[in-house]
Amino acid sequence: MSHARRVAKNTGILYVRMAITVFISLYTTRIVLQALGIEDFGIYSLAGGSVAMLTFLNGSLSSATQRFMSYSLGQGEKQRLHQIFNVSLVLHTSIALLTLLLLEGIGYLLFDRIFNIKTERQQAAWLVYQFAVLSTFFTILTVPYDAVINARENMLWFAVMGVVESILKLIVALIVFDTPNDKLRLFALLMAGTTIILLLIRVTYCHSKYTECTIALRRYFNKPLLKEMSAFAGWSLLGTFSSMIANYGQAPLLNAFFGTKVNAAQGLVAQISGQLGVLANVMLRAVNPLIAKSEGAGNRNLMIKASIFSSKMGFFLLTIVYVPVMTELPYLFKLWLDQVPEYAIAFCYLLMIRNLIEQCYIPLMSSISAVGDIRLFQTIHSAIALAPLLISYLLFLWGFGPEALYAVFIAYSCITFCTTVFFAKRVCQLPVRDYIFNVIVRCILSVCAIAISAIIPTLLMTQGLTRLLTVCFLSLSASIASIWFIGFTKNERISIKFVALNNKPEAQIS
């Protein structure tokens, strides 16, 4: 199967998963908000914020391990996968224990000095935090298994697990909604239990499906490989933790100045962003193995082409959803929620802008990781990642509102974009001029055309369902036309036609 067709097939599988899970997840969020109320929902977003970090942490660590597995598959060294898996188990067990100790130590500091939670809810909040820490520990232990699934490009299993996860969370929400007991404590307990159950299912599946998932440390342990993976994972973990602190640190910072109601808005917006960003995330998940395998096979040209194309395609996939949503955001919030937390709409606008910027360079990070020369890149990236929290803190002291935090993080994303492009040029020989013209310029022109088509109905019609449907129709029509004729190059259009029509098995992204 050609590279392009395999990516297209895996992306299609993930889109079916997305179509099922997004609506379930958004409905689940509505039920949870109704069940907990704004105050307790804000407490869960604050004290249980590490649960929201699980996907980010797991994905980052899994990508680091997957790089070695995909690289070995690209080189044709399948036997080496046994060694990589066993070394990875040792490595991530150590990381899980260190993370457990770190989060427990930080927890006392957060609750004693930083969190602004009413006295009568502090005990419940502490319990939420403990369940989140437990979930984090077990999630890190399953990173090697996620890496195997990704390296093997088994997107069907990933899709099935996504649907199962969404259904389990919906069941949890319905149970909590009807319970007469403390809803926050029960919700935290059931969410932690759901996380552990899903991880156990994943471990069981991998051991029964893949031969490399055999725990035999004496037979497969490789000390030089441990040193190599530890160095790579260490630098990756530096970038992961700095980004994780920058993202999770937003909640305590907002809480210290504005209270749990603002945390409710932040937690709600983070869930919305996560669901709307699935389109781009599944594209990246599908193309990441190709990037690493291409570098492992010595085909850097294909790796660069895949990175550039996925940067642009991820941006377009976000744009198709973001433009109509941003155009009708106040109306959509009214349809979705009975109670709309203050600042939720403003936060949502700003976060979506940041996501669009980041989508242009995230695949380039995968290319840098595939090459393996990440020490200087991760060091600089980590230093930059912590600056927005300090700047936001100073702005809050000077009387700025909570929206300032999101504006600062937009500026941070722009700076990270520049540094990532610089290192992609330095490490991967990225053709910067070609990237700027074929990705940035084409993305800007396309999104402007789509935005104009979506705004026109708002100038001529009153707010309501008819206008919403009109905006969606015009936006989708403009997206198809502008992305095809402005966003894609002539060669890309030819390649897409070949893959779609199944006319040329050797067609690749060009």
Q: Residues 481, 482, 488, CA angle at the centre, nearest 5°?
A: 105
Is residue 88 within 8 A of residue 79, CB to CB? The reply is: no
What average pLDDT score do residues 17-42 get?
Answer: 77
State the total domains in the chain.
Answer: 1
| Token digits of residue 278 | 């699935």
Q: Quick check: is 203 in a domain?
A: yes
Nearest to residue 373, comparing CAs of 500, 492, 490, 235? 235
Please report, as a single letter, which amino acid is at residue 328: E
Residues 6+ apart with CB under 8 A from 254: 262, 263, 266, 402, 405
Q: Do residues 283 and 321 lie in contact, with contact meaning Cβ atoms separated by under 8 Å? A: no
pLDDT digits (tens, 9 = 90+) for 297-330: 778 888 888 888 888 888 888 898 889 999 999 9
DSSP H helices in 3-48 = 3-47
Backbone angles phi, psi at 386, to 5 degrees: -85, -15
Residue holding tokens 């080496």?
A: 80
Contact by Cβ (8 Å): 344, 41:
no
**Rounded-to-10 torsion of CA 338, 344, 345, 351:** -140
Q: Is residue 2 left, alpha or beta, with left meaning phi > 0 and alpha meaning psi from -120 to 50?
A: beta
Range of the structural domain that residue 176 is part of: 3-501
pLDDT of 51 > 80? The answer is no
Q: Is the pTM of this model over 0.75?
A: no
Phi, psi of 221 (to 5 degrees): -65, 135
**pLDDT number for residue 386:** 82
Please write the tens of the pLDDT for every residue from 243-261. Answer: 777 777 788 888 888 887 7
506 found inside a domain: no
Long-range CB contact pairs, 342-346, < 8 A, 24+: 342/261, 342/262, 342/265, 343/262, 343/265, 343/266, 343/402, 343/403, 344/265, 344/268, 344/269, 346/403, 346/406
Whether the pLDDT of residue 53 is over 60: the answer is: no
Give the mean model confidence (pLDDT) for residues 97-108.
Answer: 82
If one compares 447 and 246, the residue with the highest pLDDT of the two is: 447
Contact 348, 407 (CB under 8 A): no
Which residue has better confidence, 503 or 404? 404
Give domain status of residue 440, yes or no.
yes
Task: Specify the pLDDT at position 417.
Answer: 93
What's the pLDDT band for 475 if we cut at 50, 70, 90? very high
Q: For residue range 150-192, what is the model confidence (pLDDT) as tens digits?
A: 777 777 787 788 788 889 988 988 898 888 888 888 888 888 8
Span 111-144, pLDDT tens digits:
777 777 777 888 888 888 888 888 888 888 888 8
Q: Are 15 and 155 in contact (CB under 8 A)?
A: no
Residue 1: what pLDDT?
Answer: 46
Q: How far apart are CA 319 and CA 450, in angstroms?
A: 8
Biggest distance spanned by C-alpha atoms of the chain: 72
Q: How many CA atoms lie within 13 A of 382 on its CB side?
A: 15
Does the structure show a pLDDT above 50 at 510? no
Distance CA 217, CA 239 (A): 28
250, 50 Cβ separation under 8 angstroms? no
Q: How confident is the model at residue 408 (pLDDT cuts 50, 70, 90)?
A: very high
pLDDT of residue 466: 93
In a domain, 452, yes or no: yes
Question: Quick check: 3 pLDDT over 60?
Answer: no
pLDDT at 48: 65
Residue 49 confidence (pLDDT):
62
Whether 510 maps to a domain, the answer reads no
pLDDT tens readout for residues 350-398: 988 988 998 888 888 888 887 877 788 888 888 888 889 999 999 999 9
- Residue at 132 is within a domain: yes
Position 508 scores a pLDDT of 45
Short-list 385, 328, 321, CA closest to 352: 321
Outline where 142-249 has alpha helix (H): 143-151, 155-178, 183-209, 217-220, 223-248
Domain contains 353: yes
Q: Are 57 and 139 in contact (CB under 8 A)?
A: yes
Can you tell me the distance from the alpha carbon of 189 to that of 173, in angstroms, rounded to the nearest whole number? 12
Closest CA to 285 of 9, 81, 10: 10
pLDDT of residue 391: 93
Residues in the chain: 510
Q: Which of 373, 356, 375 is nearest to 414 (CA)?
A: 356
Residue 509 lies in a domain: no
CA distances, 461 to each of 458, 464, 465, 471, 474 (Å)? 6, 9, 11, 10, 14
Tell me the average pLDDT of the chain.
81
pLDDT at res. 507: 41
Report residue 30's pLDDT band, with 50, 70 and 90 as the boundaries.
confident
Cα gap 4→290, rounded to integer Å: 9
With bands split at pLDDT 50, 70 and 90, how would you rate the model's confidence at 509? very low
pLDDT of residue 251: 80
Q: How far apart are the first and last CA of the chain?
A: 17
Residues 6+ apart with CB under 8 A from 397: none
